Chains A and B, each alone.
Chain A
Amino acid sequence: MSSDIALLDPGHKAAGLTATNVSCWFGTKKVLEGVNLDMAPGQVTALIGPSGCGKSTFLRTLNRMHELVPSATLAGEILIDGVDIYRGAIPVTDVRRRIGMVFQKPNPFPAMTVAENVVAGLKLSGMKVTRAERDHLIESCLTKAGLWNEVKNRLGDPGRALSGGQQQRLCIARSLAVSPQVLLMDEPCSALDPTSTRRIEQTISEISETVTVVIVTHNMQQAQRVSHRCAFFLAAENEPGRIIEEGATREIFSNPVDPRTNDYVNGRFG
């Protein structure tokens, strides 16, 4: 299965991400401070924490989406396989193609068909594929996103004709199609039913050999099921968010060092 992902890029390998001392501002408001996190190649890292603590913001710094917000600024360093994504030689479009993203709100291209949506990334980044490769890619990516059976007879429908949860899975398929080396997922399952959620989690496990996954989730069971490592974010009142604790998922959930982590993972908090 995982070889499908590397269809377009046979030498494809998961890449490691390293965030060093990352701080973020919106205007003068500091929302993240001094975040250090190592996201090793082929590992699934879960970001957990209460609403508003900066998980999405941190995720968006990892593929340079943060800078698209007017007034957003950033300090620190983010490396992909040791190369700085902000100051290094990699063009920003390559950074974003190699580090894919599934957004908190589904954002399919409404005017494109379901099939076109899946391969939109190829067109956007100028990759050429044959007809057969394209068809194969559409099927395999939609299957991995747990959407194939629902849409295989309506591939020509516009993307906007799908339900919210279907749109979200379409967006997951779309981001898989460009064979990213890292995939950032911002609450990908928050709009999904249990079956689809299971399918996505299964896909995350399958692709994690070739894709490094960073996932934001509010679902503690999900974090435990899919992730190898876990980082707990927390923002005290009127203070920027920080990583309180970070480590192997098993440790974070069974034996956390910080009492606040303990409270949060056991549902006694925020």
Chain B
Amino acid sequence: MSENILSEGTPVTSTSDVLTPVVRRSRADQIFRGIATTASVTTFILMGLIGTFLLVKGYDALRVAGWSFLTESAWAPDQGGAFGVAAMLPYTVQIALVALVIAVPVALCTALFITEYAPRKLRRILTAMIDLLAAVPSLIYGLWGLFYLQPRLITLSKWMADHLGWVPFFTVDDQYGTSLGLFPSSTFVAGVVVSLMVIPICTVVMREVFSQAPAGEREGAMALGGTRWGVVRDVVLPFGRGGIIGGSMLGLGRAMGETIAVTLIISPSFDAKWSILDQGSNSIAALIALKFSESSTFGISALMAAGLVLFVITLIVNAAASTVVSKSRSGASTEI
């Protein structure tokens, strides 16, 4: 009676006789499976389409520029000059990193405060407020950043340049000394403004995950004499690792793609530099937004190629993140 379902025809060896369970699905199960599969395939196809679209549209420019597209920092496709993302790409990453360096710790602490420390009533209010903030359009943040935050941040920028100038990123080499006029349109200011819109998104994700940390484990930790911080350290954070990374990556994606706020703040520069405090920054998204309406067909092709670079980088970052997440503990542990 016993037959090896795995390898038809080959003799069944008693030790490596692994069974593959046959699953017969019910009708409802099949239908749902069909819908779910279609939906996920659609997502996949959509991503393929976007990538292909960018590649096709950007092909003309990429053919002309070749690999120099990644190493050239000037941007003059319409004038028949050289063009590439070597300046925009580092600026984009710098802005995103500034945003994350601020946003992730703030979001982490906010999420922990909401789930672990806040009284129940406050918890509800804060949760609603964070959800609301996450839904505010980025233009609003951009405008507020431009008119309110920027003038106030430059004093901080100057202070940092004067006192923390020894930190590589904060070095401002200006032969005339640091005047306030040097600071308004910098990577730093753009990064801070972007961080404001990233914080709520990260917080929403992290709070959601933290609040699902199993009550049994929390109680277990408390029953051993654990403090709230002990519970956070030994139960909530290990459980929420995936959420912390996932939330950060979602924020990173948003920060790298952020267009309007960055466009409002920066003054475009095509020379990459380490220092983030002084004048001049750039980003791929901002470049596309700024140049789109005034570009020739070839210029648009170059912008599409830049968009493709952004798209690919976002994909790589997310793939890396999901690998990390899947290696950490999955949220639910099975009950035995």
Contact = CB atoms under 8 A, between A and B. Distances in A.
A164 B333 CA distance: 12
B33 to A, nearest CB: 28
Nearest to A163: B336
B333 A124 contact: no
Nearest to A95: B225
A26 interface: no
A94 B224 CA distance: 9
Nearest to B328: A111
23 contacts: A65-B223, A68-B219, A93-B225, A94-B225, A96-B222, A96-B223, A96-B225, A98-B225, A103-B216, A103-B219, A107-B214, A107-B219, A107-B220, A109-B221, A109-B235, A109-B238, A120-B221, A124-B226, A124-B227, A124-B230, A125-B225, A164-B336, A171-B220
B152 interface: no
Interface in A79-118: 93-94, 96-98, 100-101, 103, 105, 107-112
Contact of A111 (B224, B230, B239, B336): B239
Contacts of A178: 224-225
A121 interface: yes
B159 to A, nearest CB: 38
By Cβ-Cβ distance, the 8 closest A-B pairs, closest first, are A97-B225, A121-B224, A107-B216, A124-B226, A125-B225, A111-B238, A107-B220, A101-B223
Contacts of A160: 329, 333
B173 interface: no
Interface string B324-336: 0000010001011
Given A68-B219, A107-B214, A100 B224 contact: yes
B234 A123 contact: yes
Contacts of A120: 221, 224, 234
A63 interface: yes
Nearest to B224: A121
A103 B220 contact: yes
A162 to B, nearest CB: 8
A103 B223 contact: yes
Interface string B297-336: 0000000000000000000000000000000010001011
Nearest to A191: B336
A167 B336 contact: yes
Given A70-B120, A164-B336, A167-B336, A110 B225 contact: no
B214 A96 contact: no
Contact of B230 (A94, A105, A110, A123): A123
B217 interface: yes
A227 B234 CA distance: 34
Contacts of B214: 107
Interface string B205-217: 0000000001011
A124 B234 CA distance: 8
A23 interface: no
Contacts of B222: 65, 68, 96
A174 B329 CA distance: 21
B183 to A, nearest CB: 44
B interface, by DSSP: helix, strand, loop or mixed?
helix
B94 to A, nearest CB: 34
B278 to A, nearest CB: 44
Contacts of A164: 335-336
Contact of B329 (A70, A97, A110, A124): A110
A70 B120 CA distance: 9
Interface of B: 120, 214, 216-227, 230, 234-235, 238-239, 329, 333, 335-336
Contacts of B226: 93, 96, 121, 124-125
Given A120-B234, A123-B230, A110 B224 contact: no
Contacts of A163: 336
Contacts of A93: 225-227
A57 interface: no
A108 B120 contact: no
Nearest to B239: A111
Contact of B221 (A63, A70, A105, A124): A124
B217 A107 contact: yes
A175 interface: yes
Nearest to A96: B225
A112 B235 CA distance: 10
A113 to B, nearest CB: 12
B231 to A, nearest CB: 8
B329 A125 contact: no
Contacts of B221: 109, 120, 124
A174 B222 CA distance: 12
Nearest to A162: B336
Contacts of A70: 120
B308 to A, nearest CB: 39
Nearest to B217: A107
Contact of A109 (B220, B223, B336): B220
Contacts of A107: 214, 216-217, 219-220
A94 B220 CA distance: 15
A46 B223 CA distance: 20
Contacts of A94: 225
